[in-house]
Structure formats: structure tokens, C-alpha cells
A = this chain, B = another copy of it.
Amino acid sequence: MHQKRQRPTTGRITINDVAERSGVSIKTVSRVLNNEPSVRPSTRARVEAAVRALDYSPNPSARGLAGTQSRMIGLIYDNPSPNYLFRTITGVLEACNGAGYALSLQAPNPDEPDLAESVTRFVSQSRVDGLLLIPPVGDVVAVLDALEAIGLPYARVSPLDGRPGLGVSVDDRHASAQVVAHLTGLGHRRIGFISGHPEHGATQSRLEGYRLGLLRKDLDFERELVVGGRFDLESGRRAGAYFLDMENPPTAIFASNDEMAAGLLQVALERGWRIPEQLSIAGFDDTPLSRTLWPPLTTVHQPIRHMALRATELLLENLAENLHENLDIHGHAGSKRLGSRVEVFDAPLVERATTAPPPD
């Protein structure tokens, strides 16, 4: 018996097997797989049965090659906190799983100075259908321009600018003002503020919220009560040292993220201050840290997981729309419309144990 040498076939089940078993053409199987209309319910059922019986799942490479989508979205992160990234990924994956999309992760090469370049390369190498951008990458105009130039849909989490596009955000300004309201409500009148990294989007709006909060209580904005930080522990410590060294230190300090609040707390404890009796401290973000510190930190909760989930949904919806609109497009390669939609989430104050009425 002579067997002709064959290319070692993968041995996997293909669309042909499903077609054969259900007695239809492969095109019809394809239609069922892609949920296209105009398939008789009875036929659809038969095909679905065969799919299940054979435990078939379509080859993504073949789909990607033949079709126009890769069913994969990318997430690019530059320098988020571990916790932020974790919650984001969790949300994104939730959305992806429901929709049959895969998630490809990428961090830009730190050696590559040109971020937009890095992003473009990733996109052209991985052929994702769309991109999810989280801060701070999501705020780099050059990146967004580059993506629009190549016509790749994207959605942003917490964009700071008013640029049209898909995104979800939180009203940082409002939340920040709420913190001040909480503090003034306790009786504080001298409230320090540690602002964030100058290049982070949220920095500005949180500062504005602080001012707004003061304004609402007719409190003066005092320059000496605001110090610039970088969203990290060390800058929180520096700011703490600055405030505690003042002749007339504030009775409450609002750090615009939890990490800096932790730094501030360290310095205060180190110097023997009793928190919150002698000094109230508030943070922002509600990272797990805020519950791990002692005393547990009063802070603002950011629904990051949920925001990421929703941003992904917006992106995937957009991808689906673009797909159907393909008919209208005449040769304009990559003339995808991004649409514009930003959903705003609530960021509620979480009162824990670092805030109390001022001494006296």
C-alpha cells in the first residue's frame, strides 16, 4: 500500500466538516457562524447542532485573512498603576468574552521616544480591529492623530480633552468638589491640596474641583495651600513635609490620589501626629491601598472596571457599525467613522477613617 506524502494537515475540524455533517454548503455554515440573516431557522439549527457535535471553532487566522476583521482588540498601556491596569483588564475582558473578541496587550517600548510611532507599529503588526486607550497614552494627541490617519477605531478611558470620539470618563471636577464639601462639612476651613502629575489629564480637573469646592463655601483659594505632586508616594511625602512644617498648617489635606495620600500619612505618623484627630486626610481613586492603610483612607471611588467594560462595549459596537456601513464607503480606504460618544460615570465619595472634625 503506497501512501502519497501529504502536507501534514492540522487534523483540526474545519468548516468543511461542519458543512458536510449538516448537509449544507460551507457558505451557509459561515452565515450561521457570523449570525447573518437570511438563513432558515431550521437550517440554522441543523448547522448549530453540527458545530456542537464536532466541537468546532473557526480558525481566527482564516477568518482574518478572508474577511475584514481580526476579532481582536488591543489594549495599550504606558504607565498606569498596577491596580488601575488590573481593573481595566478585568473590565475589558468581560466585554470581550461576551462578544467573541480576543484581547491583545501591548506596552510601548520605553526606548522608543516616539509614542505614536510605537502605537502605529503595534497596530500594523498585530492587525487589531480597534484599540482601547487608557491614561496617560489616551491623552497623547499625536497617538490619536496617528490612529485617525490610519482609520483605526479606538475608545478612551478617562480622556481629558473635549476631542470627539468614543470614551468613558468620570467627573473628576465634581468628585473633587465633593471631597472639599465633605471636609468643609466637618468644619475644616483650611484645606491643603496636593495636585497630581502635570501630564496626567485628571490633574487639572481635580484641582479645579478643589477650587470650586472652596468657592462654594466662600473660602479663599490660597496659593500656599496647594503643592504640586506626581501621583507617587515620594511626592506625597514631600508635600506632607511641606505642610507639616508650616507655621499654620492646614487641618485637612486632600491628596489628589491615594498613593500621595499614603505618603502624606507616612510623614504624619512618622512625626507622631494622630490621624484623623489632629489632621484629616483624603485621597482619590479608592485603590485597595486605601483599605490597607491604617487608618483606612477616605477617598473617591473610581468605577474603573465598569468604565473599561463600557468603553470596550462602545468600541465593539462601533466596529459592528462600521462593518455594516461598508456598503456606503467608496474607495476611501480606512474611512471608518468613529462617531462620538462619551459616557460619564459617577465617582462617589467613600468615607473611611482619615477624616474627622478639626481639632479645637
Contact = CB atoms under 8 A, between A and B. Distances in A.
A60 B126 contact: yes
Interface string A83-104: 1011101100100010000111
A103 to B, nearest CB: 5
A109 interface: yes
B90 A107 contact: yes
Contact of A270 (B11, B68, B294): B294
A4 to B, nearest CB: 14
Interface in A1-24: 8, 10-11
Given A59-B127, A270-B294, A97 B109 contact: yes
A291 B87 CA distance: 22
Contacts of A270: 294
Interface in A51-96: 55, 57, 59-65, 68, 70, 72, 82-83, 85-87, 89-90, 93
A230 B105 CA distance: 30
A329 B8 CA distance: 10
B65 A125 contact: no
16 contacts: A8-B333, A55-B124, A57-B124, A60-B64, A65-B65, A82-B83, A82-B85, A85-B85, A85-B89, A93-B106, A102-B125, A103-B105, A105-B105, A233-B291, A263-B292, A269-B294
Nearest to A65: B61
A162 interface: no
Give the interface SS of chain A, mostly helix, strand, loop or mixed.
Answer: helix
Given A82-B83, A93-B105, A294-B269, A331 B65 contact: no
Interface of A: 8, 10-11, 55, 57, 59-65, 68, 70, 72, 82-83, 85-87, 89-90, 93, 97, 102-107, 109, 121, 124-127, 233, 259, 262-263, 265-266, 269-270, 288-289, 291-294, 326, 329, 331, 333-334
Nearest to A123: B57
A14 to B, nearest CB: 11
A281 to B, nearest CB: 12
Contacts of A292: 233, 259, 262-263, 266, 289, 293
Given A125-B60, A289-B292, A293-B293, A103 B102 contact: no
A61 B57 contact: no
A263 B294 CA distance: 9
Given A60-B61, A61-B127, 13 more contacts: A10-B68, A59-B64, A60-B64, A61-B61, A61-B62, A61-B70, A82-B83, A82-B87, A85-B86, A89-B105, A103-B105, A103-B106, A289-B289
Contacts of A85: 82, 85-86, 89
Nearest to A291: B233
B107 A104 contact: no
Q: Nearest 9 CB-CB pairs, A to B?
A: A61-B64, A82-B86, A61-B65, A266-B294, A82-B83, A11-B333, A61-B61, A262-B292, A269-B294
